[in-house]
Amino acid sequence: MVKDNIIPNHMDIYWHDYTGHVKDKPITEASVPVKAALIGRVGLMLLSCGTGAWRVRSAMNQLSESLGVTCTASIGLMTIVYTCFDGHKTFTNSLALNNTGVNTLKLDKLERFVKKFPKEGVHKSGEQLQSELDEIQKLKGLYTPPKLGLAAAFACAAFTFLLGGGPVEMICAFIGAGAGNFLRAALIKRHYTLYMCTILSVALGCLAYVAALRLGEMIFHIPGEHEAGYICAMLFIIPGFPFITSGIDLAKLDMRSGLERLAYAVIIVVNATITAWVMAMILNLKPADFPDLALSPALHLLLRLVASFVGVFGFSIMFNSPFRLACSAALIGAVANTLRLELVDLAGCPATVAAFLGALTAGLLASALMKRLGFPRISVTVPSIVIMVPGLYLYRAVYNIGEMSLTLSAPWLVSALLIIMMLPLGLICARIITDRSFRHCT
């Protein structure tokens, strides 16, 4: 199928060709290929939402058990190779996505589809089930590019305060991140390549930050010491979902998925940080520490709670979360991230240990609340700790590498890597504590 004179590199799959010859026949009585097509499609759709291999395989297994077949699957970031057999016939299939991303709305719908399947789905035909999946597949994003730009603007402004920035840096980051993520969302909607979306959106974010700052200097005579915040205008690009899910997959020895997700996250980070470094060279900017805000501990604590809530809420909206789900993640993130920051400032806790404890807290709170709210755990836990990913550290590491200041780069890079390792580890430990099925190697 040709769209806009561009021939797709991935051919469309006509799922309704695999619904069996008898349209009103319950799928439990269908052939192995019909059952396998449903199992594979659900797995592929879950994979497209950004969830990890362990969750995808669990869903495929649950469907397989209800359909009376055995399923084995090898799952990556973009592909699934799986085999279904019932003791008499075997069906092997290979499926691939044309792109990946994060969509917590679809993830929630698919989780509910899988959960209801043993009681309701088994009585429906393959045609009916494929039609239900069609409706989920057709779900459009809840938010337009302007709204996604606004979500990124609030998230990065909050991020700026949490990193030590003041009102000037927050306003400029608001403008820069808003413009950058608006462009990114618009490019993604038109199916442009990952590299192009990343490079152009980060470049625009940095440029918009500097333009806003220079305009403020001209009109309001703002001093030039606020340039350090330009780094915050690009933090909307942080690949928190693949970073965290890669760690979870590696913990479950899903090596293929874990390593592929990690490589995907590294691609985004490298492209973003190099672009920001080039923009810094062009605009004559240098990373520096933020001026001291001189806030009392009580006020700082309160503002951190508010900023953490706003930041996590913004990131959740960027992941296409419904309002109620975004609020749930924001409440958890406000508590967990504020705890992390206070442990560092008041208790002198190492940043890596504080990151682990913050992620652990987020995981435990999510486990307690999700049983009542009914949302997929990953759609709450990952947005709640994305704000803990050290994007500033990663940028400073790459900036100093570009300047060939390897001695200055090493501490930033090592600190960033240790914190990134600790975040999924905290979620993994919380999952081990609260989820009996996760803690066993079966």
Per-residue pLDDT in tens (0 to 9) along the chain, 442 residues: 445 567 777 788 888 887 766 667 889 888 899 999 999 999 999 999 989 898 899 999 999 999 999 999 999 999 999 999 988 889 999 999 988 888 988 998 999 999 999 999 998 888 899 999 999 999 888 899 999 999 999 999 999 999 888 899 899 999 999 999 999 999 998 989 999 999 999 999 999 999 998 898 888 877 767 777 888 888 899 888 898 889 889 988 899 999 999 999 999 999 999 998 999 889 888 777 787 787 888 999 999 999 999 999 999 999 999 988 899 999 999 999 999 999 998 888 999 999 999 999 999 998 888 777 777 788 888 888 888 988 888 888 888 888 888 898 899 999 999 998 999 999 999 988 887 877 776 6
pTM, two decimals, is 0.90
> pLDDT value at position 222?
79
Distance CA 39, CA 63 (A): 6
Hey, which residues does 71 pair with through a beta bridge?
84
- Position of tokens 């899988």? 114
Q: Which helix (H) or strand (E) holds 439?
A: helix 436-439
CB contact set of 276 (below 8 Å; sequence gap of 6+): 202, 206, 230, 231, 234, 395, 398, 399
> pLDDT value at position 11?
80
> pLDDT value at position 2?
47
Helices (H), 5-122: 32-48, 53-67, 104-116
